[in-house]
Amino acid sequence: MIPFVAVVSLRGRESRTLRVWVPLILLWLLLVPLAVLFSPLICIVCLACRVNPFRTFSVGWQILCALNDTELEVEHRSAGISICVF
């Protein structure tokens, strides 16, 4: 399943933490028409590069699905950022 939400936590100098829930599902919904629109162009580019376009779409989808549970945290004395994808 593709990730639906990303949680971005930002910590500033005053130790105040700002937590933002990003609804990725809205982003995917916005990108679907663009993906459909550009899919012929992507297919042409893939064929020009001698790459199977179906495999390209399949791998792209797999990468998107595999983003689930990815976590990145960077902590410093003055600031910190954490990104979790669910």
Partner 1 sequence: MNEHRRQILQMLSEGKISADEAERLISALEERPSGSPAQGVSDSGTKARPKYLRVQVDAEDDGHDGPTKVNVRVPMQLLRAGVKLAGLIPPQALHRANVAIHEKGIPFDLSHIKPENLEELIDQLNDLSVDVDQADHATKVKVKVFCE
Residues at the interface with partner 1 (CB under 8 A): 49-52, 55-56, 59, 62-63, 65-78
| Residue placing its CB nearer to partner 1 in the complex, 16 or 78 | 78
Does residue 81 contact residue 11 with C-beta atoms inside 8 Å? yes
Tokens of 20: 């933002």
Angle at which helices 24-48 and 53-66 cross, to 10°: 150
Q: How far is the CB of 9 from partner 1 (least distance, A)?
A: 13
Q: How far is the CB of 54 from partner 1 (least distance, A)?
A: 11
| Residue placing its CB nearer to partner 1 in the complex, 39 or 68 | 68
- The values of phi and psi at residue 77, to 5°, are -60, -40
